[in-house]
């Protein structure tokens, strides 16, 4: 069951104080003092990782790659999200929903909020911090900012910084929401995003130039479906805030550059790339594996599913997680 935990005020990187921070989180397993694993979700995910409705329920659970019979798994909704943690959909100090008044936040602010939860839970050191995509951004920030608190690190389909192309995709989606309005804009933004999450080869194989009875291309209908689904479960202003936070991501910022920053990592590290990922291409994971001094050689997950492969290739990802966690 999700817990909504009040944690006090949070001073953001930009200097603004975010009052009365609340963080939504879920846990699985029993805490024994040294077995806590933090799982960090991607852009539109939430804290429900395991169980029937879990977004990673074939990787996290009893006897699985992240074994909840052995480990105390914690997952928190991201700062700026809309699934229980303070974000644009939350009431502001004046009682009105924050909406587009919500302050700008960074990945480092998101990690600061997760640190507050960590201290509330009485966890001094994570046995492992695990994240994919936007979750991987936070995971590597954890290991750079708080190396003494991270024993193991698993980074999937992520990067040490947001690239020009990633910023281009994300900022264009935000502009579409602002121009078209929250619902129509979010539906269109998700269509664009979902295209980048899948590989060209998969789209070609699944849909080709197939035309449906209603005259639409099959791929067009597929993308509309995913856009409609997101509108029903997500907040448009949260999507913008989280996208802007991802664009802020650069572990080398203010730390003497990328090599210097990643040199701070002391956690035993596994970095995994998805071979068909065009949104977070494998060269970015190779950079992480090359510059983190405690990283193993880059692991490559073979998948036709593009960026979403880290969510889909449960057997490969679970095996990598198990090997990291149990040794």
Active site residue 303: no
Active site residue 47: no
DSSP 313: -
CB 135 within 8 A of CB 252: no
Q: Which of 153, 119, 143, 126 is nearest to 36 (CA)?
A: 126
d(CA 226, CA 154): 28
What DSSP string runs through 195-226? Answer: HHHS-HHHHHHHTTT-B-TTS-BHHHHHHHHH
Q: Is the dihedral of CA 189, 53, 36, 70 positive or negative?
A: negative
Query: 69 burial class (0-12, 13-18, 19+ CB within 10 angstroms)?
Result: exposed
Q: Could you confirm whether 9 is annotated as catalytic?
A: no
The single residue of 46, 277, 305, 308 carrying the catalytic annotation is 277
Query: How big is the CA angle at 323 (ends 322 and 325), to the nearest 5 degrees?
Result: 65
Query: 127, 249, 305, 307: which one is catalytic?
Result: 307
Task: Indicate the helix (H) or strand (E) that contains 262.
Answer: helix 258-262
Contact status, residue 264 vs residue 256, Cβ threshold 8 Å: no
Kindly name the residue from 133, 199, 248, 276 that is annotated as catalytic: 133
Radius of gyration in angstroms for the set of CA atoms belonging to the chain, rounded to a whole number: 19
SS3 for 147-169, per residue?
Answer: HHHECEEEEECCCCECCHHHHHH
Question: What is the set of active-site residues?
Answer: 133, 277, 307
């Amino acid at each position: 069951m999700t817990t909504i935990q009040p944690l006090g005020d949070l001073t953001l990187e930009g200097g603004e104080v975010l009052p009365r921070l609340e963080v939504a989180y879920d846990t699985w397993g029993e805490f024994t003092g040294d077995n806590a694993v933090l799982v960090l979700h991607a852009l539109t995910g939430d804290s429900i990782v395991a169980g029937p409705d879990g977004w990673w329920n074939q990787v996290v659970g009893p006897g699985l790659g992240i074994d909840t019979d052995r480990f105390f798994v914690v997952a928190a909704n991201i700062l700026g999200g809309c699934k229980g943690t303070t974000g644009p959909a939350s009431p502001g100090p004046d009682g009105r929903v924050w909406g587009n008044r919500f302050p700008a936040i960074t990945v480092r602010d998101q990690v600061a909020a997760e640190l507050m939860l960590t201290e509330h839970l009485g966890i001094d050191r994570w046995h492992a911090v695990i994240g994919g995509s936007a979750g991987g951004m936070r995971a590597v920030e954890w290991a750079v900012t708080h190396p003494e608190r991270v024993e193991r690190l698993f980074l999937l389909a992520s990067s040490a910084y947001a690239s020009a192309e990633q910023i281009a995709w994300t900022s264009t989606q935000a502009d579409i929401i602002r121009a078209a309005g929250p619902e129509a804009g979010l539906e269109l933004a998700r269509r664009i995003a979902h295209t980048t999450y899948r590989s060209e080869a998969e789209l070609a194989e699944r849909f080709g130039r197939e035309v449906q009875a209603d005259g639409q291309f099959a791929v067009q209908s597929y993308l509309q479906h995913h856009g409609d689904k997101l509108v029903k479960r997500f907040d448009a202003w949260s999507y913008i805030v989280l996208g802007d936070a991802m664009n802020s991501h650069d572990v080398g910022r203010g730390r003497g550059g990328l090599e210097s920053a990643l040199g701070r990592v002391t956690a035993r590290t596994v970095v995994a790339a998805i071979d068909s990922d065009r949104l977070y291409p494998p060269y970015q994971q190779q950079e992480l594996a090359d510059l983190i001094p405690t990283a193993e050689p880059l692991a490559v997950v073979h998948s036709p599913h593009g960026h979403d492969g880290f969510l889909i290739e449960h057997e490969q990802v679970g095996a990598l997680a198990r090997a990291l966690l149990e040794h």
